[in-house]
Amino acid sequence: MEQNTGFVDLLEDRRRDCDFLWATRSMDPSLPHMLPPESVYDRQKIIQAVLRDEQVRLAIDTLARTTGVRVKDVENNASAMINEMASKADLTTVRWLGIFITKAMKRMFSKIYINETMLSDLKRKTRISQVQYIYVPSHRSYLDFILLSYILFSYDMALPNIAAGMDFYNMRIVGELLRKTGAFYIRRSFSNDILYKQIFRSYINTIVSHSDRAIEFFVEGTRSRSQKSTMPKYGLLSIIVESLLQGDVPDIHFVPMSINYERPPEELLFVYEMLGVPKPKESTAGLFRSLSILQKPFSHGRIFFNIGEPISTSRFVDKAYRQRKILQPSFKIPSSVVENIAYLIIESHKKNTVLMPINIIALLLNERIQTRPKEPYTLDSLVKDYQWFKSFVTGSLKALIYETETTDNYRTKQEILESLKPHDEFIVLDSSNTLKIKQRHKGAKQINHSNIKGYPLSERTLQIAVSAINIAIYINPTLAFLAETAFITATIGGNGTQTEVALERYELLRRLLSTEFVMRPIEDRALIKTEWEKSLNILLSQNCLYTANDLIFIGNNTKLFSILHNVILPFIDVIYVMCILLSEWTERTSAELTDRTILVEMQKEVERLIFETKDWCQHPYCLSLDLYNTTWSSLLSQDIIAYHKHTSTYRTDKAKLAHLIGALRELPLQHPAESYVGALPLIISTSSIDVPAKL
């Protein structure tokens, strides 16, 4: 990353100053929604406005009439709902929490880098218009919303109205504390509750129009266990976009924010969740237990908080839509408009992802395990590979990477060692400066098998899968930049591939993996071809591929080809194995085909393949339930499987399924010669003494 990109360490001043004096400083928080005083509603006015809303009144009357319940009782229920929901911002609470959060942040993280240039620009813009701002961060950890609030407080900016789940509401003491920092609470599912749905819609419309604070929500809905972007959820986003039709605000600006952790606090929990072990229920007691992460200073390294350009809603919701709303009150903005904004937000998240050395180290280590596990991966070899691959992703793919560009071996070595320090429970250098992995799985005693979401994996499998998926979690952020080029490597055979065939195969993979990598659906083949050519030209420029006589061949840069090819294989393998399983479902099991049974049967089958075969699903990442869910969604979207509501089961389209299996078999995939199962134990640290990464 170049030094002039505007990032500063938020903790630098905090380490010099008194936390109490800083948190209690005189401040007049900058309010991002400039409104005349009479238009600003406090909590009580917001609640009153919601309860007087025409649509809420209609819902109350309808519910009373259809259920036979007194109107007064339904009104009391509505009042309880909005009081449960509404935020209660209190600066005094924020100040006291700021003291404790500062101490925790300084203990956990060595640095918190914020793009101060973009934040200052955002702060300036909020002072000159009546636009309402919506902060939409990526979601990688429970810390995300705390981190954003901490940053805003640090820069004297008002904390937003924060959309939060009921899990936090139900935490004793904590729930009310979060409400006083701006949280408003949303029930997980309320599509069948007419009254709650209308109250929620009215509440959002009211705070969009009459709150002088911004709104914050996670467009991805839940945390990304895989640490890469996940498909956006459209519910809250659509309500916010619809509120522009009310005409109370001139525009709504969505501000994408990309949060990148050197080591996510929930790292190991994510690994087990992906294997089917449920996350612990949120509780105050659990929160206190989690404070054990404060025992070791700087245990989670660095955070990068990057900010994208605001996205103006009025670009997509013009005056014609507003006029239609006036003439036709039931008019809804087309879903394509909401989806377009959602993809723009996710694309900004990906573009503004900041990679760190550990991401490249994990990618290179994954490649070494699958290709040359018997050769020691020394620090000197890693430095050489790291410099080469970092140059590729920053130069050809325009990725942001911490730290500054350098080809100096000593500085690169320090960069690597610095990034390894927070991971000394996972990746270490032994006494001969060889890279080793520590065993992360400590036994099955901690696993409650009655709650497992997938198949009960054997201890032997977990010994390999936990470490392998841990590596993959750090690889995944790189796929924001690598995905398209990696797709292409899966389309080119050793004897060359016709250009048109390569493009058709790329289209197939893009369609199948668009959910997994959150890629905007494209119907226009010319646009897909343009995208393909852009990535193809990158590979041609790297001598990874070359063309001759309308054929595309693998070039001399087989090292790059292999890395890109191997990193995409698990995703393709899972699609193929799921398709085979679906085609043989009735022969394999008597169970009905449901979204639960497919997870169980897939994990069962993949566990068998990992140990018994040399081709499909060799990589333990193929055991990830997250990967099965995105594959399932992809097949559903293409009508290869269809849901039957009356039986709550699924049926396959045999013809489409057979065609897809045939197309996948034609892909010139080159599975690694080394089995992950056989290779991983060769680099597992067996020594009781490892050398920690030191500067």
Q: How many residues does the chain have?
A: 695
Q: Examine the pLDDT at 664 and tell me if it is beyond 90.
A: yes
Q: Which two tokens mark 150?
A: 């901490």
Q: Which two tokens mark 25?
A: 């400083």
Planar angle of CA 211, 213, 219, nearest 5 degrees: 100
Q: What is the per-residue pLDDT across 259-273, written as a single tens digit (0 to 9) for each?
A: 999 999 989 999 999
H-helix segments, 352-408: 357-371, 379-395
Class of 7-265+300-352 in CATH:
alpha beta
Average pLDDT on 576-581 reads 96
- Spell out the residues 6+ positions from residue 538 whose beta carbon is closer than 8 angstroms to its own: 396, 397, 485
Mean pLDDT of the chain: 90
Other beta carbons within 10 angstroms of residue 533's beta carbon come to 12
Q: Is 433 left (phi over 0), alpha (psi -120 to 50) or beta?
A: left
Which has the minimum average pLDDT: 73-82, 392-401, 443-452, 495-504? Answer: 443-452
Helix count and strand count (H, E) for the chain: 29, 18
State the residue for tokens 């309880």. Answer: 80
Pairing type for strands 302-307 and 545-548 reads unpaired
pLDDT band at residue 4 under the 50/70/90 scheme: very low
Q: Which two tokens mark 112?
A: 């918190």
The pLDDT of residue 3 is: 40
**Angle of helix 91-108 versus helix 143-154 axis, rounded to 10:** 110
pLDDT band at residue 635 under the 50/70/90 scheme: very high
Q: Examine the pLDDT at 689 and tell me if it is beyond 60.
A: no
Calculate what percentage of the chain has a pLDDT beyond 90. Answer: 72
Nearest to 225 by CA among 626, 539, 614, 652: 626
Nearest to 133 by CA among 255, 37, 226: 255
Average pLDDT on 645-664 reads 91
Q: Examine the pLDDT at 679 and tell me if it is beyond 90.
A: no
For the chain, domain boundaries: 7-265+300-352, 570-681
Nearest to 633 by CA among 278, 233, 348, 141: 233
Average pLDDT on 633-637 reads 95
Element (H, E) at 258: strand 252-261
- Is the Cβ–Cβ distance between 287 and 167 less than 8 Å? no
The pLDDT of residue 410 is: 86
Residue at 508: amino acid letter: L
Which of helix, strand or coil describes residue 133? strand
Give the span between the Cα atoms of 534 and 538, in whole angstroms: 7
Q: What is the per-residue pLDDT across 224-261, written as a single tens digit (0 to 9) for each?
A: 999 999 999 999 999 999 999 887 889 999 999 999 99
- Is the Cβ–Cβ distance between 130 and 33 less than 8 Å? yes
Query: String of b and e for 535-564 (b: at least 16 CB within 10 Å)?
Result: bbebbeebebbeeeeebbebbeeeebbbbb
pTM summary value? 0.93
Q: What is the per-residue pLDDT across 400-457, written as a single tens digit (0 to 9) for each?
A: 987 666 678 888 999 999 999 999 989 999 889 999 998 888 776 566 666 788 889 9
Q: Examine the pLDDT at 95 and tell me if it is beyond 50.
A: yes
Residue, of 275 and 325, whose pLDDT is higher: 275
Give the alpha-carbon dihedral of 52, 58, 63, 69, to 10 degrees: 60
Other beta carbons within 10 angstroms of residue 461's beta carbon come to 21
DSSP track, 545-598? EEEETTEEEE-S-HHHHHHHHHHHHHHHHHHHHHHHHHHTHHHH-SS---TTHH
- Is the Cβ–Cβ distance between 182 and 159 less than 8 Å? yes
H-helix segments, 436-524: 459-475, 479-489, 499-513
The pLDDT of residue 615 is: 86
Q: Examine the pLDDT at 195 and tell me if it is beyond 80.
A: yes
The pLDDT of residue 688 is: 47
* Sign of the dihedral defined by the CA atoms of residues 172, 174, 175, 176, in that order: positive
State the residue for tokens 């620009």. Answer: 121
Element (H, E) at 649: strand 649-652
Average pLDDT on 177-185 reads 91
Q: What is the per-residue pLDDT across 22-36, written as a single tens digit (0 to 9) for each?
A: 999 999 899 998 889
Give the span between the Cα atoms of 513 and 507, in whole angstroms: 10
Residue at 212: amino acid letter: D
pLDDT band at residue 38 under the 50/70/90 scheme: very high
655 bridge partner residues: none
427 bridge partner residues: 437
* Sign of the dihedral defined by the CA atoms of residues 391, 395, 398, 401, in that order: positive
In angstroms, what CA-CA distances link 29 with 45, 94, 160, 205, 662?
21, 12, 11, 23, 61
Give the span between the Cα atoms of 459 and 438, in whole angstroms: 16
Give the span between the Cα atoms of 417 and 406, in whole angstroms: 15
The pLDDT of residue 331 is: 84
The pLDDT of residue 499 is: 96
Pairing type for strands 497-498 and 435-437 reads unpaired
Give the span between the Cα atoms of 50 and 562, in whole angstroms: 58
Average pLDDT on 665-673 reads 94
Q: What is the per-residue pLDDT across 138-161, written as a single tens digit (0 to 9) for each?
A: 999 989 999 999 999 999 999 999
Q: What is the per-residue pLDDT across 357-375, written as a single tens digit (0 to 9) for each?
A: 999 999 999 999 999 989 9
Give the span between the Cα atoms of 110 and 237, in whole angstroms: 35
Q: Is 190 left (phi over 0), alpha (psi -120 to 50) or beta?
A: alpha
Other beta carbons within 10 angstroms of residue 455's beta carbon come to 20
